């Protein structure tokens, strides 16, 4: 079974040292392991891929990426540097790595230009952003120029958690374990994705495609509720019910959710054509990810779609 993994992080050493600290309660031993693996491509990463049958990783700049920067000019420069760095890595291993671009959405026009460069000159397959950019969400009209470029290039945008928080969420007070990947990141990113849907981004840009990790940040299991409550709104400006955008404009990966119940539920909710494989390396176990998909109680046809066929189609991977 061919495997393409879509949510696989890397770091540029000199950029990692300058990035804002992402606040979580993760243990130091785990952080040390992840930081070592983030900057490695051949000593541990490729051997682990070989051991477990991962044919290709689609690499993206780890959290918070350039979303943690407040100065637009700095964000533009660091995104370009990170993308050039990744381009060199891919050039050395073109059959094993592909890339999602870092895009400086502090300046939407510059982000569109950098995506254009990354796709056309570096051969990347799309972009990945770590949630909001300094409290701005991408349903705002100022980002239409960026969505238009996503449509023009026919590449997806992967919306990933991990931007530095810009406000306080009282429900997290006194419960540091809730902060980060255990819960708050997924909830925040799901909210951002719903802003995109309810804000009409996919009505204005019907050919744009969004990818959500972690089994769609739980949203496939809320579609009936979203539709029923949307039907009760005093104003309903969308062209379709909220659920209709999932499986069409919104695709998901399984990253970090090794639950067969969740996988079969997601397939039932949005269709196997909209579900893709990912590990979330180095934060999750490659062995667990591969065994999860190999043993999933799904058809052989759906397994192949999730393992590689959907990624090849959506990302243009040959």
Q: Is the dihedral of CA 162, 245, 219, 5 positive or negative?
A: negative
Q: How many whole angstroms separate alpha carbon 80 and alpha carbon 278?
A: 25
Q: How many whole angstroms separate alpha carbon 12 and alpha carbon 252?
A: 26
Question: Is residue 56 a contact partner of residue 317, using CB atoms and an 8 Å limit?
Answer: yes
Q: Is 280 considered catalytic here?
A: yes
Catalytic annotation, pick one of 107, 131, 139, 280: 280
Question: Is residue 276 a contact partner of residue 253, using CB atoms and an 8 Å limit?
Answer: yes
Q: Strands of 97-99's sheet, edge to edge?
A: 4-10, 56-61, 97-99
Question: Is residue 270 a contact partner of residue 252, using CB atoms and an 8 Å limit?
Answer: yes
Catalytic (active-site) positions: 280
């Amino acid at each position: 079974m061919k495997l393409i993994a879509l949510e696989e992080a890397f770091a540029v050493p000199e950029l990692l040292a300058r990035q804002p600290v992402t606040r979580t309660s993760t243990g130091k031993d785990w952080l040390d392991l992840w930081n070592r693996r983030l900057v490695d491509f051949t000593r541990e990463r490729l051997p682990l891929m070989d051991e477990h049958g991962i044919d290709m990783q689609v690499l993206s700049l780890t959290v918070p990426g350039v979303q943690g920067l407040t100065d637009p000019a700095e964000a533009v420069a660091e995104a370009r540097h990170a993308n050039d760095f990744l381009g060199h890595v891919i050039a050395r291993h073109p059959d094993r790595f592909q890339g999602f671009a870092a895009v400086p959405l502090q300046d939407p026009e510059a982000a569109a230009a950098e995506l254009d460069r990354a796709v056309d000159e570096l051969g990347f397959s799309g972009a990945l952003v770590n949630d909001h950019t300094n409290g701005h969400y991408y349903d705002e009209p100022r980002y239409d120029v960026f969505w238009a470029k996503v449509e023009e290039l026919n590449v997806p945008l992967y919306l990933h958690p991990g931007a530095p928080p810009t406000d306080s969420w009282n429900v997290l007070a006194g419960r540091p374990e809730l902060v980060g990947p255990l819960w708050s990141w997924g909830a925040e990113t799901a909210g951002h994705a719903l802003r995109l849907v309810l804000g009409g981004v996919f009505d204005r840009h019907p050919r744009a495609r969004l990818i959500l990790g972690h089994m769609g940040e739980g949203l496939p299991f809320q579609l009936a509720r979203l539709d029923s409550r949307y039907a009760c709104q005093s104003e309903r400006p969308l062209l379709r019910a909220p659920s209709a955008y999932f499986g069409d404009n919104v695709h998901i990966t399984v990253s970090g959710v090794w639950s067969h119940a969740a996988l079969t539920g997601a397939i039932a909710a949005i269709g196997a054509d909209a579900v893709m494989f990912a590990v979330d390396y180095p934060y999750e176990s490659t062995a667990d990810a591969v065994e999860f998909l190999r043993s999933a109680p799904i058809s052989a046809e759906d397994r192949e779609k999730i393992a590689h066929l959907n990624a090849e189609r959506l990302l243009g991977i040959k």
